[in-house]
Amino acid sequence: MKTEERNTQADEFARITDPFRRELLTYCYRMLGSVHDAEDLVQEVYLRAWRSYGSFDGRASMRTWLYRIATNACLNALQHSSRRVLPSGLASPSDDPAGAVVRAPEVTWLEPFSDRLAGGAPDDPAAIAVSRAGLRLALIAALQYLPGRQRAVVILRDVLAWPAAEVAELLGMTSTGVNSTLLRARARLERLVPASDEITEPDDPARRELLDRFARAFEAVDIATITRLLTEQAAWEMPPIPEWFTGREAIGRLLAARLSSECGGNRLVPTRANGQPAFGVYQRGADGLLHAHAILVLTVTKAGIFHASSFLDERLFAYFDLPSTMRA
């Protein structure tokens, strides 16, 4: 192929396939539980698609064709990787919040996903709610317990609302096989995912006010106010630290032991992750600057903050378009 023709084909390929890049990244994240792995895999998907573009015959849509390549790449990757987990998926909660906490880098940890990386939100409010629910951290964590093919079926059918026949063609299954696989996966997820009917939506004024109070209390190291904003059964985990804690009293003692005691030593910057409210947490360093410390993802119900996952990985801040340091 002449250079000019190849350049023209490359331009055409980019024009046709680039609109699907964000949704493919979100799909691969749902499958793998890691934004880093999802980014690498999407690069591989586009490389495979470009190499095969000359043989693309248009019998399936470009979107379906790319999802087939992405699904096969994800299933292959899952054969050679460990399940990604949160601390609550490893052991019972700890009863010593003030004790030493040691990171466990050898564990393959689940990662949060910045909403800014996701594909464009649908216009229908009901569809927006479904899209958010399909990214919630609890669901992503639960999906990691399903075999790869079951994950793909759940995501394609329940989250992306693909018809059973289309999923069957993509996965090389029958429609009956897809439906039976979906039923088995749903039954397992029901045991793993907490009920979400009480989770509040972003535009709920009460939730916005609660988050504002939480941020002010966190920055002021007001442990009493923070614990009052938690539900009685609240959980707090901090991957890659394997210990996690439940209940207001235990979480209060944990925060008292770990938060900077100096008022102004912590800063919370609002963001969003996994369709949920989140904060970039900064801590003051010896140089007087505020340094990236954790991405804190909250699950908020009508009764208060039900779950907090504090991901202690400063590398994640770039995905949220947050700086690594700030002036105090």
At residue 147's C-alpha, the angle toward residues 143 and 152, to 5°, is 65
Q: Which two tokens stand for residue 71?
A: 């699904």
Angstrom distances, CA of residue 128 to CA of 79, 120, 244, 323: 32, 10, 31, 28
CA atoms of 308 and 285, how far apart (whole Å) = 24
How many structural domains are present in the chain?
2
**Residues comprising the chain, all counted:** 328
For residues 33-46, give the mean pLDDT.
97
When mean pLDDT is compared across 40-49, 54-63, 255-264, the lowest value belongs to: 255-264
Write down the pLDDT at residue 124: 46
Q: What is the mean pLDDT of residues 217-245?
A: 96
Q: Report the mean per-residue pLDDT for the chain.
A: 90
Within a domain: residue 12?
Answer: yes
Q: How many CA atoms lie within 13 A of 256 on its CB side?
A: 13
Domain with 66 in it: 1-81
Residue 321 lies in a domain: yes
Contact 274, 308 (CB under 8 A): no
- CATH assignment at residue 49: 1.10.1740.10
Q: What is the pLDDT of residues 192-202, one digit of tens each?
A: 886 655 676 66
Q: Which residue has the higher pLDDT, 215 or 205?
A: 215
265, burial (CB in 10 Å: exposed 0-12, middle 13-18, buried 19+): middle
Does some domain include residue 155?
Answer: no
Q: Which of 48, 81, 114 represents a domain boundary (last residue)?
A: 81
pLDDT of residue 25 exceeding 70, the answer is yes
Is 233 domain-assigned?
Answer: yes
Answer whether residue 278 is part of any domain. yes
Which of 56, 81, 106 terminates a domain? The answer is 81
CB 236 within 8 A of CB 310: yes
- pLDDT for 126 equals 46
- Distance, in Å, from the CA atom of 328 to the CA atom of 326, rounded to the nearest integer, reads 6
The verdict on residue 296 lying in a domain is: yes
Instruction: Give pLDDT tens digits for 104-147.
Output: 889 999 999 999 998 655 544 444 555 667 899 999 999 999 99
Residue 121 belongs to some domain of the structure: no
Q: How far is CA 65 from the centre of its chain?
A: 25
